[in-house]
Amino acid sequence: MSRRLVWISAGAASAVAAKLDIAHHPGAERVFAYTDPGSEHPDNERFLTDLETWLQASIERLASTKYADTWDVWAKRRYLNGPTGALCTAELKKLPRYAFEQPDDVQVFGYTVEEQHRADRFREQNPEVTLCTPLIDAGLTKDDCLAMIDRAGIELPAMYRLGYRNNNCIGCPKGGLGYWNKIRRDFPGVFDRMARLERDIGHTCSRDDDGAVWLDELDPERGNHADEPSFECSLLCAIAEAEVSA
């Protein structure tokens, strides 16, 4: 039997995917793993500990042996993001994953139904990986997962409670103008640090139709980032809750 490698991202979706995988494949050899990029909210460790109790299993913490955190990557590589994505994702998440995975693993990812295109692209780019997507199979959305974690009595990670739609690092270079204005309000020190780094590197995080937008020139009123996460839950959410509670 192949090992089931369940990837935990400290987000609601991967947590629910892990719980579903346990329900759907009882008795399987399984390991849970989390790649720590070093720049996420410190409350994520509390959330991971809560998940270990919910899953009744330990979660392996993985990290880069080359870089301390996202800021270390950006400063040393002199690069934030581009058409092929952000270097921090490759260095701090992908490479530790490659070092930990085994060739015959069944890898479980928390892609939701809105992310079918991401799952399809992953399969195209990684044909050697056996990918399992329990949330897509169950028809679950991101909002479903947020609601399920909330009703399980697990306090959502701090970034969700602050109104962010994803539990990414604090100050993600893939964020838009509204995201960065919210970072300006919630984490002014992070905003100022990124604004200085942009000028030092000579490259911006964000763009609009007219080109690059420097954070130190960003109008505080630009963008429209939602301040609260939605907790709407569908019928499929209730069905999945019944499965994991059985």
Task: Tell me the C-alpha distance between 14 and 106, whole Å.
Answer: 15
Q: pLDDT class for 72, splitting at 50, 70, 90? A: very high
Residues 100 and 205 in one domain: no
Question: Has residue 66 got a pLDDT over 50?
Answer: yes
Residue 186 sits in which domain range?
A: 177-217
In this prediction the pTM is: 0.87
How many CA atoms, within 13 angstroms, populate the side-chain half-sphere of residue 183?
27
Residues 193 and 240 in one domain: no
Residues 151 and 79 in one domain: yes
Least confident of 18-22, 127-131, 141-145, 241-245: 241-245
Residue 155 carries which side chain, given as an amino acid letter?
A: E
Other C-beta atoms lying within 10 Å of the C-beta of residue 94: 12
pLDDT of amino acid 132: 97
pLDDT of amino acid 246: 62
The mean pLDDT of 98-114, rounded to a whole number, is 95
Residues 124 and 14 in one domain: yes
Residues 11 and 95 in one domain: yes
- Decide if 163 is inside a domain: no
Mean pLDDT of the chain, nearest integer: 90
Q: pLDDT class for 225, splitting at 50, 70, 90? A: low
Residues 91 and 186 in one domain: no
Residues 129 and 202 in one domain: no
b/e string for 168-200 if b means 16 or more Cβ within 10 A?
Answer: bbbbbbbbbbebbbbbbeebeebbeebbebbee
- Decide if 130 is inside a domain: yes
pLDDT of amino acid 231: 42
- Decide if 205 is inside a domain: yes
Residues 15 and 53 in one domain: yes
Question: Which tokens go with 26?
Answer: 């009882």
Question: Has residue 92 got a pLDDT over 90?
Answer: yes
Question: Has residue 123 got a pLDDT over 50?
Answer: yes
Residues 55 and 127 in one domain: yes
Residues 21 and 116 in one domain: yes
Q: What share of the chain is helix, strand, coil (3-state, %, to 5)?
A: 50, 15, 40
Per the structure, the count of domains in the chain is 2
Residues 94 and 151 in one domain: yes
pLDDT of amino acid 229: 45
The mean pLDDT of 65-87, rounded to a whole number, is 90
CATH label of the domain that carries residue 33 = 3.40.50.620
pLDDT of amino acid 243: 67
- Decide if 77 is inside a domain: yes
Question: Has residue 169 got a pLDDT over 80?
Answer: yes
Residues 56 and 107 in one domain: yes
Task: Tell me the C-alpha distance between 90 and 74, whole Å.
Answer: 12
Residue 67 host element (H or E): none
Edge-first strand order for the sheet with 59-62 is 59-62, 30-35, 4-8, 106-108, 130-132
